[in-house]
Structure 1
Amino acid sequence: MTTEGPATRDSPQPQPSEVAPPRATGGAATRVDAVYFWVVRVVAKVGVIVTVWAAIATGAMLVHGHPAYLVLLVLTFAVSVFFAVRSWLKRGVEHRRHEVLKGILIVLSVLVLGVVAWLVPSSATEPALSAMNSDQAVTVSETPTEIVLTPTGTISDTGVFFQPGAKVDARAYAAVLRPLAEAGHIVVIPKQPFGIAFLSTGSFAAARSEHAPVTQWVVAGHSLGGTVAALDAATYAGQTPEPVVGLMLYASYPAGDESGLNADVLSISASNDGLATPAKIDASKPSLPPDTQYAVIDGSVHAFFGDYGPQSGDGTPTISHDDARAQISAASVAFVNSFDG
């Protein structure tokens, strides 16, 4: 006589095809949890790829640019690696609460990656890189936040503070501005956080009293940098000590009405500029003082005001970059020298 347990005769044995799939860990996971699980994996992996690409594309600017972008890249890379490793080590989908918050964090992560990619700067090229070398006429010093070109001979009491264009290497303006230093003027070029001039609005205020024997300033800038320079001119024109006596715009114009500015103004533009077009320069004239001087570099383009390669949306040049640079430098030197009389 044999003894049979209740499951031996009455309960069917599971067949191989009926084995249940692996269960989600952490409770009853939903389809939303599964989507979140895979989205985090993908976004984290993309984050690693984007930050590595941005670092490679930025190149020497990681060392020569303002440290803010390097810090952003390092933090974004570290967070991306953490979540990438964490998500790929998980064996299954877990049920999680706060689904709305999770969605917001994912969207914010994607936006941050988009900003990281968009902020990749335009790096300086020759002859600007060679112009960064000191010689018998000019001493070039560089810190994490600024570049200073100092004449080795007699120094004028008129200094130049120049704001770079958006996302452009500050070194890219060394060649076009070096003739000003050779003419005896201290030239200060700030390194803007993330390459955005509006994030560097306090840099001129900090530099005003730090560069003896300068007692008066010409503020200048290219493109967006010129817009910020116009704001500095409006703030410090007529003030003592170290007043702003001049404003120099490279392919730029003010954001507001500066027609009553108590300072001389020089606007240098390019006839073939596809960004600060001749039409935009003409339309901005009522925003500048009536005695503003205008110089147009015939055949030049927006990117010829620095040395950083072609720029998206720009026009087509009909003169050489060297010719345009020489004309821009000559007009700048004549304007700044006029304050030494």
Structure 2
Amino acid sequence: MKRWQKFSIYIGIVMIIGVLAGIFYVQRSTYTPTAAAIEAAESASKEKDVLFFEGEQKNPTILFYQGAFVENTSYSIWAEQVAAAGFNVYLLRQPLNLAILGQNSAEKIIEEKQLTSYIIGGHSLGGVIGSRFAHEHLGDERLKGVFFLASYPDKNGDLSSFDGSVLSITAEEDQVLNEEKYLEAKEHLPDYTLFEEIEGGNHAGFGSYGKQKGDGQAEITDEEQQRIVAAMIIRWASRLAD
């Protein structure tokens, strides 16, 4: 066997090992939904890996980007409650559960379902990516609002000129959210942004997937925090209803 052939085989083996190691890392790093979240998801329909909780067509549809390495089913508890209040909710699912790999996934739903009004939301990294999508669609009259769960926009998701509504929800015991970057990011938000904080809540409590590495200890349960999240979203989104 020639030297270059041996080298090609060696490179191929290294690449395969790298891919397998990457898959293993992602699997080990992924947060899976609790039994309560799985049960709540039973009220949703699955459409190409997207979870759809049906509300009412007259209200803006909510399109939600998951947090990094968090399965979208983990947000089913508050999504079910928001849908019960009259809002269609789509829990988007990106490749490898990383929103950064599927920034335009909301576009598919908007066009396929011919939405006449919609709201973009996201948790943690999902909020960053959601804001980038919103930034690219600032001229779209169908975009009524943007909300962040323990998240913020970066310069590529600047919303300072957005004339729609923006909601930012954080949690008192959140130790994952970068406080410095969160404060700096306020320059990318409209002056009229509504800021809310959940007493006793933490980062992982915006979903239901168990304890997250580096997070603070919550003083309330996941279910309690998500009831609060749902109530805040419903109250805010109701102002945007036609």
TM-score by structure 2 length?
0.90
Please state if 1:158 is matched with 2:67: no
Q: What residue is the counterpart of 1:255 in the other structure?
A: 154
Query: 1:130 is aligned with what amino acid?
Result: E
User: Where does residue 97 of structure 2 map in the other structure?
Assistant: 195
| Distance (whole Å) between structure 2 residues aligned to residue 258 and residue 340 of structure 1 | 21
Q: Offset of 1:189 from its aligned partner?
A: 1.3
Q: Name 2:234's counterpart in structure 1.
A: 333
- State the alpha-carbon separation in 2 of the partners of residues 304 and 100 from structure 1: 49
Give the distance between the partners of 2:223 and 2:11, measured in 1 at CA: 50
Deviation string, structure 1 residues 163-188 (Cα, Å, up to 9, x no partner): 11112111111101112111111111
Give the number of aligned pairs: 237
Taking the TM superposition and a 5 Å limit, the aligned residue runs for 1:57-136 are 97-98=3-4, 99-120=6-27, 121-134=30-43
The CA distance in 1 between the partners of 2:154 and 2:9, in whole Å, is 39
CA distance in 1, matches of 2:14, 2:217: 38
Show CA shifts across 1:123-147 (max 9, x none).
Answer: 111321111123xxxxx21133311
Using the alignment, how far apart are the partners of 1:126 and 1:156 within structure 2? 32
Are 2:207 and 2:222, in contact at CA under 8 Å, matched by a contact in 1?
no
Residue matched to 2:82: 180
Flag structure 2 segments of 5+ consecutive residues without an equivalent: none
What amino acid does structure 2 have at the position aligned with 1:186?
N
> Superposed, which structure 2 residues align to 1:1-341 within 5 Å?
97-98=3-4, 99-120=6-27, 121-134=30-43, 140-151=44-55, 154-211=56-113, 214-240=115-141, 243-256=142-155, 257-340=158-241
Tell me, in whole angstroms, the C-alpha distance in 2 between the residues paired with 1:252 and 1:329. 16
Over the aligned positions, Cα root-mean-square deviation in angstroms equals: 1.9
Of all paired residues, the percent bearing the same amino acid is 28
Structure-2 separation of matches of 1:300 and 1:96? 62
Structure 1: segments with no counterpart, 5+ residues: 1-94, 135-139
Deviation by residue 1:42-64 (Cα, 9 ceiling, x = unmatched): xxxxxxxxxxxxxxxxxxxxxxx
Whole-Å Cα distance in 2 between the matches of residues 326 and 262 of structure 1?
28
The higher radius of gyration belongs to 1
> Following TM superposition, by how much is the alpha carbon of 1:276 offset from its aligned partner in structure 2, in angstroms?
0.9
For the residues of structure 1 that align with 2:26 and 2:36, how far apart are their CA atoms?
Answer: 24
Contact 1:158–1:339 (CA under 8 A) maintained in structure 2: yes
Counterpart CA distance in 2 for 1:235 and 1:156 is 25
Structure 1 Cα separation of the partners of residues 97 and 54 of structure 2 = 23
Alpha-carbon offset, residue 335 of structure 1? 1.1
- Tell me the secondary structure at the aligned position of residue 35 of structure 2: coil
Give the SS at the match of 1:326: helix
